[in-house]
Amino acid sequence: MDMHLNGRTALVTGASRGIGLSVVRALAAEGVRVVAAARRPTPELSAAGAVPVAVDLADPDGADRLVREAAAELGGIDILVNNVGGGDGGLTGGFLGTTDAQWAEVVDLNFFAAVRVTRAALPALLTSRGSIVNVSSTGARVPHSGPIAYTTAKAALTAFGKALADEFGPRGVRVNTVSPGPVRTAMWESETGYGAELAASLGISRGDLVAGLPAAMGMLVDRLIEPDEVASLVTYLASPLAAATTGADHLIDGGAVKTA
């Protein structure tokens, strides 16, 4: 399907792998010129046709520098995808096992990074009457489904998107949120990721944990979600085909969340 995005411009954060890389590829396939931000840009980003920018968005000055470079490279910004996130390693100890430093790191990466990038990019997005898509998590709605600091930060990100849509919708900027369930990314598949740590804490193998995850989370499909599936939804929401859609939180969770 033609998303009518040819010639538009986009800034994607957290773009080096997983959902972010899939979003870059999906947008580029629609003819979008993409600046892709990552702490460590990968060859895959250049191969996808994006302009990689190395930036650590945990650095308070990183967002302003990133947006300046993106606007200069692209001549403006039509689409912002706030995908950067993670930092969930070492968080299997529950609330009492999560330190202030861990809370600060996780909330900064999963919430404040999006706040800072959005603040820096909004002047350009107001000029272009553009679109923002924030990548949150079903953990925002079902907080017990992941580390408490991570799901709390994602809940803040979801609320942030709704508030932005209300404030800037009348000025032409659409804001939507995509909330995936468990996606087939390094978070679950890496031998050093959160999935491996969780499996070890439960005394089972990572493979057994991942295999049982869809059923354990109440999903109605018997597999993890593919990054490309999330990217397709992000691309649609960023496109003119979704011109009347704003302020919404779109689940892509295989039916895991049963409430409206």
Active site members:
150
Give yes or no for a contact between 53 and 74, defined as CB atoms under 8 angstroms apart.
no
With b for 16 or more beta-carbon neighbours within 10 A and e for fewer, the 208-227 pattern comes to ebbeebbeebebeeeebbbb
Phi, psi of 147 (to 5 degrees): -60, 140
- How does DSSP classify residue 111? I
Query: Among candidates 174, 180, 210, which has minimal Cα distance to 195?
Result: 210
Which residue matches tokens 């033609």? 2
